[in-house]
Structure 1
Amino acid sequence: MQSSRVKRSLRVKRYIRKGIPNEYRSLIWMTVSGAQAQMEKNPVHYKKLLDMEADPKLVDAIRTDINRTFPDNVQFRRTANPCLQHALFNILVAYGTHDKTVSYCQGMNFVAGYLLIVTKDEEKSFWLLDALIQKIVPEFYTPTMIGLKTDQEVLAKLVKWKVPAVAELMEKHNVMWTLVVARWFICLFIDILPVEIVLRIWDCMFYEGSKITFRVALTLIKHHQASILEANNFPAICEKFKEITCGTLVQDCHIFMQKIFTEPGRLPLATITKLREGSRAEMDSQS
């Protein structure tokens, strides 16, 4: 698979859904996301960004978060050799300079750090981050976070349709969806679900797009519906949403990944697009 493009097919989708072997993960993410093609088209862009004068506010914001990124991972400790903190700092500063509308937003440090762990390459991580932010989760990390807010609204509508009892419980106790799922979306399940599952989710997400995040969220909610419905007040509901991300369901990544494609039922992209358009229009009319 040397080509920077990959022919989309059912065979490729099935292969990716089964989990990409670790040694090929970086190559396949780069190829299927379009990041490889962008990197080849702009061979000196990343280096130029690093040579540019960065906005001091951007640099300060990133410096503050660097030490909080994966504190338990030895590769991110200052004493590590090589220490990934320096590479992560470069990627985030370069990205903030590259896309001034996004600049830097909390959560991006975890996403970029994760890409760095997988690719072990600054420039590749930068282009994968660009593919994620521009195409897969657009406007998640902008100052208004309108893309993130829209997708939380979409999830609320999908739950109303697929797991109505949970939607009623949330409404009854005035629990806003953002309180229980914002971190799921903004960190794309990093530090929410086990590492093996997150890697498998990202395998699918780079190929199939962000509708995978809805499949994961719906599976967690639908599978644990009975447990969530035991909650009878605001704090108890919030606690249940923490519990459902570390139960027995997520202990076997193969079973979990099979379930995300069966448990939520059909979820066509056309439906997601329509729900996004409707949610965006509702938010625009309220602002």
Structure 2
Amino acid sequence: MIKIWSMKKNEDAAAKKKPKTSAAQLRVQKDITELDLPSTMKIEFENPEDLLNFTLRITPDEGMYKGAEFKFSFTINTNYPHEPPKVKCIPKIYHPNVDLEGNVCLNILREDWKPVLNLNSVMVGLQYLFLEPNAEDPLNKEAAEDLRKNRDTFIQNVKRSMQGRAINGVTSHHADSGLDVSEDANEDTSQLDMKNISLDDQPDTMKPTPSISVPIPITPEKEYSYTHDPVGSTSPTPKPYAKPSVISASVALSINTDVASPSGTEPVSGSISAPPKTPTPDSAPPRTPVPVSSPSPGLSPDKKTHRQARSVGPSMLEKVISKTRPTHLPPKNKVEDVKHMKEYAQMMEKSRVTERHKKQELEQRRLARERAVEDSLHVWQREVVPNWKDAVRKPHIRQMWWRGIPSRLRGELWIKAVGNGLAISKESYKRCLTRASRALTSGSFPVETLAIIEEDIRVTLPGLHIFHPETGPLYQDLKDLLCAWVVSRSDEGLGYVKGVASMAGMLLINMPGDDAFVCMRNLLERHCLRSFYGGSGAKDDIEAYYRIFDTLLADGVPKVFFNFKQHQVTPSQYLPDWILPMFLHHLPFEACARIWDVIILEGDSFLYRTALAIIAVIESRLFFPDRKELMEVLRGENKAALDAAKRNGISVDQSARYEQYGMNEEVLWVQIMGMEEWWKESTWSRLIQRELPDV
């Protein structure tokens, strides 16, 4: 009995020590069980107990990468399937969608990833990369440029790279890194030229070829041997074939060869001229006329007869590959495929209709909100304007403020909410403007500063056309305000900061110049804006604000935070572009006006809340595995997004760059209000106290 009890105790202890299986492991186990891979793909587990790390070997059996072996590492984190697996190509390869660090550009590994997708989908997607490289969404820009400009050169480079040769100064990995190429990869150039009969895939030695007598020499390399006879035999015999198909001599004569005609054999009459003879190795078998098919895999007709037309319509691959069934499954019959394609088109149309309805709903919501704001004008005039400090303490007035201030009262309420803590009089603006005019007249005003001011005005709210140097009615008012501001800051030893023209322009739209000067000076005295406009002396404070934003980003949008960390994208590279002009360079004007309403009321914390909302709106675009593309998205300069916007008829304004991402007032405000679940002003205050204890 004691022995049984002891054994039971040991079993219980062992059960407790057994690690718990995570949800990600269970899902991966299910995905692997359901894998149905073709013979060209194989997965390997270095540790059979570790399902979250394995390798995939792909050996394409067609296309320009045919015959080589490529190895991909899969690393799956504990958030799978809510996050895609991390896939890296282990060998260096010459491919437009794989960079030299092994990062793979595949949509379903980035913005198109969905939890319903599985590992089989990813693996099939990787296989497609070798069938149809995509030059429009590249990671290796040089390879993509070669593919776009000259497909023949690209194919030649692919073959050279698979033979271990350097392309653009970079050598692809050879057999030691998992890339399997033919044994003659290191032969000299002269031998390579002899066997490069065409740029198409090498001929299959086991496939029969129909007969037409065109004299072509046989080289000793195994991929061109048409017989199993030993080297040096007197009369190698071509492989037998069944039911040869006859082609015209004109097609056969278009074959491009870089080898000499065999001695004693007359070339076929036609347009082919006898090329110079090239010596062959002593061990080479005697040359013999070889049957050629039309077109055979190794001896293709002229490239122009079969090269893909990439400019118009679907590619050849799209014409033959079913969009409704995975490639590793048997093909559908024609009736079923047509039926499913019709259903697919209906699904896509339904998706477009849903998107249109969503936009219409947002537009209706915007119009209803604007009507509510105008209808509440009497409340603003009766309760808020006379005593705004007491009014904003009431919850319903504060909610009304968040919905937007009526445009006719905006300037008046901004002046009240900003206040005049610096005790600047309106006469101060006139004095600074007089000093600036005197300096401009005498030529003592800094020329460099004046040039920056002119350039800054040129890009200030260009969609409104009111600050244009030649035709804008407020151009001179804006220039006067900026010059007066420069003079007032010179007393503090500070200079002009690019981007302030947008802020000054927004104030001028809503109030007179002297009020705008007082409001601008006091608004920029708030600590966050003062730090960003404070020059080199405020560097430590700015770094503290970057750390605060990183903390909030990690809490609010952790996936984007993690991707930014992986690719060294820091707040210093994008946050100043938003905060200095207070979002006027990136968001639509109406959205900015409403954001300004709340920033002026709530203070610096709403600057950061808006920045986090912007990232939440474009979150799906911020999973690129490439730092350059991430920065293009953040700057509003992503080429793919710009092209898509043009196709959809969206006119992208340089002062509202994020409109191309579908960002408008209603979409942005949905994200801002969605933060109510986790955003707390106490968290902001705690972070300020931790990072900036002197504030």
> Residue type of the partner of 1:15?
M
Name the CA shift for 1:33/1:248 in 2 (closer, same or farther; >3 Å): same
**Cα pair 1:95 1:103 within 8 Å, conserved:** no
Aligned pair partner of 1:235 in 628, 633, 643 = 628
- Structure with a larger share of its residues in helix: 1
Q: Please give the per-residue CA displacement for 1:190-236, whole angstroms capped at 9, x wherever unaligned.
A: 0201111000000101111121121112122234434322x111112
> Residue type of the partner of 1:45?
S
2:114 aligns with: none
**Cα pair 2:467 2:478 within 8 Å, conserved:** no
**Cα pair 1:174 1:234 within 8 Å, conserved:** yes
Name the CA shift for 1:110/1:38 in 2 (closer, same or farther; >3 Å): same
**Cα pair 1:152 1:182 within 8 Å, conserved:** no
Name the CA shift for 1:155/1:142 in 2 (closer, same or farther; >3 Å): same
* Between 153-162 and 260-269, the greater mean CA deviation after superposition: 260-269
**Cα pair 2:385 2:413 within 8 Å, conserved:** no
2:671 aligns with: 259
Name the CA shift for 1:180/1:49 in 2 (closer, same or farther; >3 Å): closer
**Cα pair 2:426 2:514 within 8 Å, conserved:** no
* C-alpha deviation, 1:5, in angstroms: 5.8
Residues in 2 aligned to 1:66 and 1:216: alpha-carbon distance in whole angstroms:
25
Unmatched 5+ stretches in structure 2:
1-383, 642-656
User: 1:51-130 to 2 correspondence within 5 Å?
Assistant: 51-52=434-435, 54=439, 56-57=445-446, 58-59=449-450, 61-80=452-471, 83-100=473-490, 101=492, 102-119=494-511, 121-130=512-521
**Cα pair 1:218 1:264 within 8 Å, conserved:** no
User: 1:138-153 to 2 correspondence within 5 Å?
Assistant: 138-144=530-536, 146=539, 147-153=541-547
User: 1:20-35 to 2 correspondence within 5 Å?
Assistant: 20-35=405-420
Aligned pair partner of 2:401 in 16, 28, 39 = 16
* C-alpha deviation, 1:260, in angstroms: 0.6
**Cα pair 1:215 1:261 within 8 Å, conserved:** no
Does 1:44 find its partner at 2:427?
Answer: yes
TM-score, normalised on structure 1?
0.82
Residues in 2 aligned to 1:67 and 1:226: alpha-carbon distance in whole angstroms:
33
Residues in 1 aligned to 2:454 and 2:629: alpha-carbon distance in whole angstroms:
36
Name the CA shift for 1:4/1:93 in 2 (closer, same or farther; >3 Å): farther
Does 1:198 find its partner at 2:587?
Answer: no
Aligned pair partner of 2:523 in 117, 127, 132 = 132
Does 1:269 find its partner at 2:681?
Answer: yes
Residues in 2 aligned to 1:14 and 1:273: alpha-carbon distance in whole angstroms:
22
* C-alpha deviation, 1:59, in angstroms: 4.7
Name the CA shift for 1:69/1:254 in 2 (closer, same or farther; >3 Å): closer
Residues in 2 aligned to 1:64 and 1:240: alpha-carbon distance in whole angstroms:
24
Does 1:250 find its partner at 2:663?
Answer: yes
Name the CA shift for 1:141/1:4 in 2 (closer, same or farther; >3 Å): farther
* C-alpha deviation, 1:63, in angstroms: 4.2
Name the CA shift for 1:265/1:216 in 2 (closer, same or farther; >3 Å): farther
Name the CA shift for 1:238/1:62 in 2 (closer, same or farther; >3 Å): closer
How many residues end up aligned between the 2 structures? 275
Residues in 1 aligned to 2:501 and 2:485: alpha-carbon distance in whole angstroms:
11
TM-score, normalised on structure 2?
0.36
Residues in 1 aligned to 2:530 and 2:397: alpha-carbon distance in whole angstroms:
24
**Cα pair 1:4 1:31 within 8 Å, conserved:** no
> Residue type of the partner of 1:174?
Q
> Residue type of the partner of 1:47?
K
Residues in 2 aligned to 1:245 and 1:48: alpha-carbon distance in whole angstroms:
40
2:120 aligns with: none
> Residue type of the partner of 2:513?
E
Residues in 2 aligned to 1:47 and 1:91: alpha-carbon distance in whole angstroms:
10
2:237 aligns with: none
> Residue type of the partner of 1:185?
I
Residues in 2 aligned to 1:279 and 1:247: alpha-carbon distance in whole angstroms:
36
- Identity among equivalent positions (%) equals 20
Residues in 1 aligned to 2:691 and 2:658: alpha-carbon distance in whole angstroms:
26
> Residue type of the partner of 1:269?
E
1:284 aligns with: none
- Structure with a larger share of its residues in strand: 2
Residues in 2 aligned to 1:188 and 1:92: alpha-carbon distance in whole angstroms:
16
Residues in 1 aligned to 2:575 and 2:460: alpha-carbon distance in whole angstroms:
20
* C-alpha deviation, 1:64, in angstroms: 5.0
Superposed CA RMSD? 2.9
> Residue type of the partner of 1:267?
W
> Residue type of the partner of 1:208?
E
**Cα pair 2:560 2:619 within 8 Å, conserved:** yes
Aligned pair partner of 1:161 in 555, 568, 573 = 555
Q: Please give the per-residue CA displacement for 1:76-130, whole angstroms capped at 9, x wherever unaligned.
A: 123336x3221112212222222333432111111111211222x1111112211
Residues in 1 aligned to 2:516 and 2:543: alpha-carbon distance in whole angstroms:
26
SS at match of 2:535: coil
SS at match of 1:78: coil
